[in-house]
Structure 1
Amino acid sequence: MTDAAFPISDAGDHDMLAHAAMALYPPTERGVPRLLCLSENATYRIDLPDGGRRVLRIHRPGYHDATEIRSELAWLDSLHATGLPVPRAVQAMDGERLHRMTLPGMTGRHVVMFNWIDGTEPTPDIAPDSFARLGRMTAHLHRHSRAWQRPAGFRRKSWTHATMVGPQAPWGQWQAAHGLDDAARDMITHAMARVGAELTAYGHGAARFGLIHADLRLANLLIAGGKTHIIDFDDCGFSWFMQDLAAALSFFEDHPRMPHWVAHWLRGYNTIASVTQADLSILPALIAQRRIQLLAWGASHAQTAQVQGLGPQWNARCVTLCRDYLDGCLARRIGV
């Protein structure tokens, strides 16, 4: 996610681009594009003649360059080789998987086609066991990240305190959120200052900070039967490993079942990799920081259905979460 989302008015242009992109692929990979989502990227379902499906991602401009996208694809290749169920990019007729396309009157767009993954996006009613499964999968992902020898030229964004909630954060500025009075801004400012201090003390050592998915919210999971698939690595980058747990709670950090989700995620994670007391202790700071990053994103997407669907009290609840973080209530809720 970022504040550089596609204007909804561009939908027709991207429909034309999606149809034009079919010529890049072998006849067996060409189909009818149907828009799935027009938000950060334009995402299309491609219905193939044989009944199969693919996913076409049309990248938004100004967010990732070609090197960053190829780096994402390289990590997906390596993760897939370990058996993790992640998306795979499809080769075009020229053997390449990333292309830059232009149409008259349009800025060039990077496009990538992926294999289709069946499944259903979970809701907050997700079974706790699904969070345990996600914890195990995330631990596998982190173990791979720590050991993987990244190819030369690999480059992805770093998600630090400054890039998540600072003045130049790519997702926008939380101060622009609707309905914040001076007291609310002071509360958030105080909370984020403490978060920054805690994260400085926690540090960026290799055991705590590395390549992660960075956006493991419910919308980026697909559940089919007893399997969970992780999708949409568009925001993968370098951050604290425990940030993937904070991101898994996105938009629901104050949900009554949140402590149960955390407990089950940690139970699953600990079957594969260890979590230290310092990792547990930093979780409230990461959860509060993620919520304010989302508050900034919401401010820059206020007219979208997703933000409006959060309800009129969601911004106010962000302030409450910061207060709960500052007074230790958030830490007590999750038992750290």
Structure 2
Amino acid sequence: MRVRWDDESIAKEALKQFPVHGERLVYLGKSDNVTFQVKTKQESLNYLMKLHYATKGIHSKKTVESELLWLEALAADTTLTVPSPVRNRDNGLTTEVAVNASGESVIVTVHHWVNGELLDREPTPGKTRSLAQLMAALHRHAMEWNAPAGFTRPVYDTDNVLSLPGPLKRLPEMNVISGEAYACLERTAHKIVAGLQLQTVAKSTWGLIHSDLHESNYVFDQGIPRPIDFSACGYGYYLFDVAETFLHLSPENRREFLSAYREERQMQEFDAKSLDLFFVWAILRNFAFLANNPAEHASLSELIPRVAKSYFENYLKDEPVLGIGNY
């Protein structure tokens, strides 16, 4: 019989390999990975530890290390406060620790803790503008930074869009949504792909993006937003990054965000149809993510038909989705 070590024991063993003097571990939660806060004697100096169980399969050690390389560069090249990595005692970005007596291992990383408050409410217009300035700063850095050889992160392209109906295809079989609702999602994915083929890939439009900057992935400290959780960062359109954040903003705040972002990027205007495309893609991606969690199926049974009628049907008919117009 294989004996599996518990997560806290693995974390304590891993911590020995980092130049961090932790007093205690505070369990934060589990999604794809298991996370702990590492508390030290200094109240303002804490760390985040991740046990990357999701590295088995589609992820790899190189993919995790690439995320950390960008975080290191952001910390060195900008004034942004990010969860930059702590290198281990051998100057490595990751450490591997055994999880059972058979020698299976898990990749472990340690990050500087980012202090701040998670928002449990809609941001104010001022905070929304600050958030747009933060995103613009990330994009400016991505445009200027030369990733090292071997840098590997996910790519958000047509293949990504075509993979989204897969998790959703099971929903009609489980009576979560109707076959008609699924067909609408599938048609939407194919229309997004056709639209992406008309998008321009250039230094000013495509590069490294956070891809998941919503209220659970940024904190505010003294009014300044700080991004956290770069685990979904990858290559994509900068407007896709904007659209992902739009999912969590009111229509009024979307306008505030666009205004501030445009000023920071010195853009003349946004193309409304392109923004609609990325917004619908962001919704579809979110549905596919939630579809993998049976606990979300009850809410999806109500949400998908409503959103399909409000957004997807308009998109399929080439009618405005966000209603922003060229801005």
TM range (shorter): 0.7 to 0.9
2:163 maps to 1:173: no
Distance 1:278 1:130, change over 3 A: closer
Larger mean CA deviation between 123-132 and 225-234 belongs to 123-132
Which residue does the alignment assign to 1:86? 82
Supply the distance in 2 between the matched residues of 1:120 and 1:328 (Cα, whole angstroms).
Answer: 40
Distance 1:64 1:279, change over 3 A: farther
Distance 1:231 1:283, change over 3 A: same
CA contact (8 A) 1:259 1:333 kept: no
2:321 maps to 1:331: yes
Which residue does the alignment assign to 1:21? 14
The residue correspondences of 1:97-246 to structure 2 (distance < 5 A) are 97-105=93-101, 107-163=104-160, 165-167=161-163, 173-177=167-171, 179-246=176-243
CA contact (8 A) 1:23 1:30 kept: no
Counterpart of 1:238 in 2: which secondary structure? strand
Using the TM superposition, give the Cα deviation of residue 103 of structure 1 relative to its aligned residue in structure 2, in angstroms.
Answer: 2.2
Counterpart of 1:218 in 2: which secondary structure? coil
> Any gaps of 5 or more consecutive residues in structure 1?
1-10
Supply the distance in 1 between the matched residues of 2:36 and 2:108 (Cα, whole angstroms).
Answer: 11
> Any gaps of 5 or more consecutive residues in structure 2?
none
Counterpart of 1:118 in 2: which secondary structure? coil
TM-score, normalised to structure 2, is 0.87
Using the TM superposition, give the Cα deviation of residue 281 of structure 1 relative to its aligned residue in structure 2, in angstroms.
Answer: 2.8
Match of 2:273 among 267, 278, 281: 281
Which residue does the alignment assign to 1:314? 303
The residue correspondences of 1:24-103 to structure 2 (distance < 5 A) are 24-26=17-19, 28-51=20-43, 52-59=45-52, 60=54, 61-81=56-76, 82-103=78-99
Counterpart of 1:156 in 2: which secondary structure? coil
Residue identity matched to 2:27: L
Larger mean CA deviation between 103-112 and 258-267 belongs to 103-112
Supply the distance in 2 between the matched residues of 1:46 and 1:195 (Cα, whole angstroms).
Answer: 43
Counterpart of 1:37 in 2: which secondary structure? strand
Count of aligned positions: 314
Supply the distance in 2 between the matched residues of 1:261 and 1:41 (Cα, whole angstroms).
Answer: 32
Using the TM superposition, give the Cα deviation of residue 140 of structure 1 relative to its aligned residue in structure 2, in angstroms.
Answer: 1.3
CA contact (8 A) 2:63 2:152 kept: yes
CA contact (8 A) 1:174 1:292 kept: no
Supply the distance in 2 between the matched residues of 1:332 and 1:74 (Cα, whole angstroms).
Answer: 35
Larger mean CA deviation between 111-120 and 89-98 belongs to 89-98
CA contact (8 A) 1:166 1:173 kept: no
Distance 1:203 1:236, change over 3 A: same
Using the TM superposition, give the Cα deviation of residue 330 of structure 1 relative to its aligned residue in structure 2, in angstroms.
Answer: 4.5
Which residue does the alignment assign to 1:3? none
Which residue does the alignment assign to 1:298? 290
Deviation per residue, 1:156-196 (Å, 9 max, x gap): 11011321x323x5x96222336221221222222222211
Counterpart of 1:245 in 2: which secondary structure? helix
CA contact (8 A) 2:276 2:322 kept: no
CA contact (8 A) 2:176 2:300 kept: no
Larger mean CA deviation between 192-201 and 326-335 belongs to 326-335
Counterpart of 1:91 in 2: which secondary structure? coil
Counterpart of 2:216 in 1: which secondary structure? helix
Deviation per residue, 1:204-250 (Å, 9 max, x gap): 33332111111112211111221100011111110111111111134
Which residue does the alignment assign to 2:263? 271
TM-score, normalised to structure 1, is 0.85
Quick one: percent identity of the two aligned structures?
23
Counterpart of 1:166 in 2: which secondary structure? helix
CA contact (8 A) 2:122 2:250 kept: no
Supply the distance in 2 between the matched residues of 1:289 and 1:276 (Cα, whole angstroms).
Answer: 24
Supply the distance in 1 between the matched residues of 2:136 and 2:12 (Cα, whole angstroms).
Answer: 39
Using the TM superposition, give the Cα deviation of residue 144 of structure 1 relative to its aligned residue in structure 2, in angstroms.
Answer: 1.2
